[in-house]
Amino acid sequence: MSTQYKPAIHFQHVDYRIGDIEILNDITGSFPQGRITTLVGPSGAGKSTLLKLCNGLISPANGEIFVKDKAIGEYDPVELRRMVGMALQSAPMISGTVYENLNLPLELQGQQLAKEDALELLEDVGLKGDLLDRKVKELSGGQRQKVSIARTLVNKPEILLMDEITSSLDRASKLEVEELISKINRKYKTTIIWITHNLQQALEIGDYTWVMMDGQVVETGESSLLEDPQNQRVNEFVKGVVS
């Protein structure tokens, strides 16, 4: 897929299992650098597991993963996770204020985020500056997700992973977060790999799409593939979801 772009992340015959249960089976493929790739597929297809493999929260049972042409095992885990940021589905927050959450990535490195930088980050994700001292428990679902994304951006990741970050949001918040994903990609040239259940989102936001089913990648290509899938199972999935 996408031979004109260098791969930011490349999977080569990757398997992942928990005990005897196979979660991912023989995954091979690349995520192009500087582009947005969407992972779609039914629940339990292994999409979230694949994202966790990308920033080393878990390791494959077999196969190799390359991040910027270097085997993932050769990276120091801390260095890797700062380069490959991840926004989690539940947008977990540490108790305290929005600023304390934005400061967390630098606090872990013994540094402190300047207030001006924090305000700029909030502006980047479409939040007002007066939220900076607000307790995170007072935020709406959409605001939490945006703070979670802004927090991930503090490390200036070259690759950003997003795990179903719009699944629990209302329509207005979904649209805002979709716009934000495109904006981050344009502004920072960040490679983005994100999961959604919404095929319309995949068509509108993603440059490329991986369709996953039962722990396998069944079809990849430009997102327009979802309009006319070649694979029979993908076709059934698309029709099922769209209808």
Partner 1 sequence: MSYWALSLTLIFVLIPLLLSKTLNLGLGRDMTVATIRSIIQLLAVGYVLKFVFDSESLLYIFLMVALMIIAATHNAQKKGAAIQGITWKIAVTLIFVEVLTQGILIGFNITPATAQYIIPISGMVIGNSMVLSILFLNRFTAEVEDHQDQTELILSLGGTPKQAIHRQLINSIKASMIPTIESQKTVGLVQLPGMMSGQIIAGADPIQAVQFQLLIMFLLLTTAAVTSVFLGYLSYPTLFNKRMQLLKG
61 binds partner 1 (CB under 8 A): no
65 binds partner 1 (CB under 8 A): no
Smallest separation, CB 33 to partner 1 (Å): 21
Candidates 25, 33, 155, 231: give the one binding partner 1 (CB under 8 A).
155
SS3 39: strand
Report how many residues bind partner 1 under the rule CB under 8 A: 25
Neighbours of 14 (CB within 10 A): 22
Neighbours of 200 (CB within 10 A): 12
State the Cα–Cα distance between residues 100 and 133, nearest whole angstrom: 8
212 binds partner 1 (CB under 8 A): no
Decide whether 61 or 78 has the Cβ nearer to partner 1. Answer: 78
60 binds partner 1 (CB under 8 A): no
94 binds partner 1 (CB under 8 A): yes
Candidates 12, 42, 104, 233: give the one binding partner 1 (CB under 8 A).
104
- Using the contact rule CB under 8 A, the part of the chain among 1-9, 31-39, 53-61, 179-187 near partner 1 is 53-61
113 binds partner 1 (CB under 8 A): no
Question: HSE-up of 178 (CA within 13 Å, CB side)?
Answer: 19
58 binds partner 1 (CB under 8 A): yes
Smallest separation, CB 45 to partner 1 (Å): 20
92 binds partner 1 (CB under 8 A): yes
State the Cα–Cα distance between residues 149 and 160, nearest whole angstrom: 9
In which order are the strands placed within the sheet that holds 84-87?
Answer: 84-87, 159-163, 191-195, 36-40, 208-213, 216-222
State the Cα–Cα distance between residues 157 and 153, nearest whole angstrom: 6
Q: What is the DSSP letter of 160?
A: E
- What separation, in Å, do the N-terminal and C-terminal C-alpha atoms of the chain show? 28
Single-letter amino acid, residue 181: I
57 binds partner 1 (CB under 8 A): yes
> Quick one: tokens of 93?
């927050």
Candidates 105, 142, 206, 229: give the one binding partner 1 (CB under 8 A).
105
> Quick one: tokens of 119?
């305000």
Smallest separation, CB 56 to partner 1 (Å): 6
Residues found near partner 1 in the complex (CB under 8 A): 18, 55-59, 73, 77-79, 81-82, 85-86, 88, 90, 92, 94, 104-105, 108-109, 151-152, 155
